[in-house]
Structure 1
Amino acid sequence: MRMMLVGAGAVGESILKIIQSRQDYKSWLEFVLVADYDLDRAEEVISHLRDRDDLKAVKVDARNEKDIVELIEVYDIDFVMDAAAPFVSNNIFDAAYEAGANYGSMGTWSVPMEHPKLGLGIENSYVEPMTKYNFDRHDKWREKNQMACICMGIDPGVVNVFAKYAAEYEFDELQEVHVKDGGNLSIPGAKEGEVTFGFNVWTVLDEVMNPNVEYNADKGGFIVEDAFAGEETFDMPDGVGKNVLVKVEHEEVVTMQRYLSKYGLKKATFKISLDPALINALKVIDSLGLRSLHPVDVGGVKVVPRDVVAAVAPQPKDIGDEMKGEMLVGVHCIGIKDGKKKEIFMYQPFDNQQSMKDWHMQAVVAQTGFGAALSIELIGKEIWKDSGVFSPEYFDPMPYLDLMRETGFEYRILRK
């Protein structure tokens, strides 16, 4: 495989570090082109890697599809890994298709309506619903014998694999899957009200503040509500404790409906634990119009408000040593086994201090990078192989779970 990594942020760096931790990675990965709009950052990422052979940094503006196509062709790239901001994901996806390369991503782009109607029907609240752009092009990719696998991080990503495993091996009928993203991370000594973005700022601004979506077949399909709906308290295992979770827009509810309905799936939700200070900050940002993508005139200069927020907010790559605790992400699955109701919670725990020791990266970043790195390995080894556009639920979950055990990226199952 000759891979182009588009986006040299914290998660992009973690993907490469984790791939290089695999003793046999050179047997399937020949070359990596690290591409970013900031060439210095791309070069910095390479300098952090233990093996710098067969790596090259280049500058690219992912808003320009032609530039991506040219790089793919010049460097003979056959797989493009999208680790860039969500708003350019469709450009990268299309460039890979145009240039004849396979494609992977950790999420997709969505565009809510300016005045969403909420209620039943995702199409009534979104101009472009999550994953639709990609899945609508499934037949085109199949005709060209190319493969795109979207949603390959931790969530979406690892949790999708967990859900497929549950459907295949834990239940006769899998009726509900509820993704829970939480933990007990904290920054001792942090000032009251201090805001921390644990993940890509653009991604947080989108998925948290967009109208959230759940799947409920009994109520007619996809149900859309306003931000921060569905609050619940969920007791996380391993001593993590009670987390207050809220619904946010996330791809799993769509991909699981697509692939797991044949197993009896009737409900799917995604909920995440958010720091109160972050929630307050996001509400203020939204009310002031600072999430906007429309340029405004500031002293004769056109400025995109969201670009300003993304530039001045604390960056995930700069947060790490001071954080204590762990991330815990999993799926709460409910269904029928041998005629009786059954529940399981299948999850992946990731300790921040251990992450800093092993990877020099905070847990949120490394956990996501791990999920993507294992998917890339399965694609590179042609274990995940087909033509068209897919997400992880499409594939056999066992090779992925085997890799998790092999790499120490542990998972656990609580059964009721």
Structure 2
Amino acid sequence: MSHVLIIGAGGVGSVVVHKCAQIPEVFTRITLASRTVAKCEAIAQSVKARTGVQVAVEQVDADNVAETVALIKRLKPDLLLNVALPYQDLPLMDACLETGVDYLDTANYEPPDVAKFEYKWQWAYRERFEKAGIMALLGSGFDPGVTNVYCAWAQKHHFDEIHTLDIIDCNAGDHGQAFATNFNPEINIREITQRGRYWEHGEWVETDPLSWSMSYDFPEGIGPKKCYLMYHEELESLVRNIRGLKRARFWMTFSEQYLTHLRVLENVGMTRIDPIKYQGTEIAPIQFLKAVLPEPASLGPLTKGRTCIGCVLRGIKDGKEKQLYIYNICSHEEAFREVGSQAISYTTGVPAMIGAKMMLQGLWKQPGVWNMEEFDPDPFMADLNTYGLPWTVVEL
């Protein structure tokens, strides 16, 4: 018997609940909580219709530690699965510490007033979680998450040393909108407009936002796409935990149309995160922009095409040079047919469910605060194939 409390009822939250409900022998009780109960109820109805599983719903303000603590004490879950906003990671970790409950998230903490995401705030909880005898699993999405597990699996089975890593994230889908983001617009735009950063020869090297690009020929008929170098959080933990890394980079594809809209919005100040006064009210322009852009969950029925996310690894095995490409291809249409969400939400939500399953089954279980690559990758890799994100590995 295990009870999971899922906090966050956006696109990813919806996928997580649907996927947990498909495995009632592991997730015997599911509670979904959010600030907006109506969103939880809509997801619960969809889950009931698709699987017959009853999902309980609750209202909670994830920023309010006391409120979350009261909810946890009343429900007594075995695990808190956080798919709310990155700003809420620390309040939810505080609530878990106070109640002695395990914690999992899909994205690292970001302070609301600075567009800077890094692990230092969450890593600072390590000793307190150890002392409390509870576990926090950080970044159990796709990137971060699956990409970290790919690296750990390659290190375990294919390399003595991994020297270079390129994580390449391609969304070859199309939703037909002039400009829309596939997940929370505020988080998405904050991430893209930051300076790029990659690891080389033991130090971080910075680049201007989206100033470096390359063309990559994606497999299975997706073909060549332009990819841009960005900073992404999994690099921060991988350079610590993957032995021998000399260079690590992260790349993402964007269409010219998307980048043109983004540049215009940036130039006129609509992507600013600092509040301005408008008719006596303070509002951050990016929050207003979020309100006028299409809701990411609404893109599900509109999006056609596929995503391809993977790792290109070069290194040494038995004294010989070796190069591997490990990737997943996910169809937007198939994801929508199965759980009513597009592939961006699906590729994050499925690994969140699998990470929770690893913890609840005791396969990944150790007090403290951990990143994905610090555990045995094999059971997670097996579950990816079983639960909707099959992977392919090719020697290049």
Normalization by structure 2: what TM-score?
0.93
Conservation of the 8 A alpha-carbon contact between 1:7 and 1:83:
yes
Residue 158 of structure 1 corresponds to 146
Q: What's the offset of the Cα at 1:408?
A: 4.2
What percent identity do the matched residue pairs reach? 24
The correspondence for 2:186, drawn from 202, 205, 218, is: 202
Structure 1 residues without counterparts, runs of 5 or longer: 115-125
Conservation of the 8 A alpha-carbon contact between 1:35 and 1:42:
yes
Conservation of the 8 A alpha-carbon contact between 1:327 and 1:352:
yes
Secondary structure at the aligned position of 2:47 is classed as: coil
Secondary structure at the aligned position of 1:286 is classed as: helix
Give the whole-Å Cα distance in 2 for the aligned partners of 1:9 and 1:273. Answer: 23
Q: What's the offset of the Cα at 1:377?
A: 1.0
Conservation of the 8 A alpha-carbon contact between 1:46 and 1:52:
no
Residue 179 of structure 1 corresponds to 167
Q: What's the offset of the Cα at 1:387?
A: 0.8
Give the whole-Å Cα distance in 2 for the aligned partners of 1:182 and 1:284. Answer: 23
Secondary structure at the aligned position of 1:153 is classed as: coil
Larger deviation: 170-179 or 84-93? 84-93
Conservation of the 8 A alpha-carbon contact between 1:104 and 1:150:
yes
Residue 240 of structure 2 corresponds to 258
Larger deviation: 4-13 or 66-75? 66-75
Structure 2 residues without counterparts, runs of 5 or longer: none
Give the whole-Å Cα distance in 2 for the aligned partners of 1:85 and 1:151. Answer: 13
Q: What's the offset of the Cα at 1:112?
A: 10
Residue 224 of structure 1 corresponds to 206
1:8 aligns with 2:5: no
1:211 aligns with 2:184: no
Q: What's the offset of the Cα at 1:34?
A: 1.1
Give the whole-Å Cα distance in 1 for the aligned partners of 2:78 and 2:338. Answer: 30
Residue 385 of structure 1 corresponds to 365
- Per-residue deviation, residues 364-387 of structure 1 (Å, max 9, x unmatched): 111211111111111111111001
Give the whole-Å Cα distance in 1 for the aligned partners of 2:97 and 2:395. Answer: 42
Conservation of the 8 A alpha-carbon contact between 1:228 and 1:247:
yes
Conservation of the 8 A alpha-carbon contact between 1:198 and 1:316:
yes
1:62 aligns with 2:65: no
Residue 272 of structure 1 corresponds to 252
- Taking a change above 3 Å as real, the CA distance of residues 54 and 113 of structure 1, as seen in their structure-2 partners, is closer
Which amino acid in the other structure matches residue 169 of structure 1?
A: H
- Taking a change above 3 Å as real, the CA distance of residues 95 and 225 of structure 1, as seen in their structure-2 partners, is farther
Which amino acid in the other structure matches residue 36 of structure 1?
A: S
Residue 289 of structure 1 corresponds to 269
Which amino acid in the other structure matches residue 167 of structure 1?
A: Q
Residue 312 of structure 1 corresponds to 292
Give the whole-Å Cα distance in 2 for the aligned partners of 1:382 and 1:9. Answer: 28
Conservation of the 8 A alpha-carbon contact between 1:141 and 1:387:
yes
Q: What's the offset of the Cα at 1:111?
A: 5.1
Q: Following superposition of structure 1 onto structure 2, how do residues 315-394 of structure 1 map, counting pairs within 5 Å?
A: 315-394=295-374
- Taking a change above 3 Å as real, the CA distance of residues 327 and 143 of structure 1, as seen in their structure-2 partners, is same
- Taking a change above 3 Å as real, the CA distance of residues 367 and 113 of structure 1, as seen in their structure-2 partners, is closer
- Taking a change above 3 Å as real, the CA distance of residues 94 and 345 of structure 1, as seen in their structure-2 partners, is same
Conservation of the 8 A alpha-carbon contact between 1:93 and 1:103:
yes
**Paired residues, number:** 393
Residue 249 of structure 1 corresponds to 231
Q: What's the offset of the Cα at 1:68?
A: 1.3
Q: Following superposition of structure 1 onto structure 2, how do residues 42-81 of structure 1 map, counting pairs within 5 Å?
A: 42-50=40-48, 51=51, 55-81=55-81
Larger deviation: 140-149 or 200-209? 200-209
Give the whole-Å Cα distance in 2 for the aligned partners of 1:63 and 1:112. Answer: 12
Give the whole-Å Cα distance in 1 for the aligned partners of 2:309 and 2:128. Answer: 34
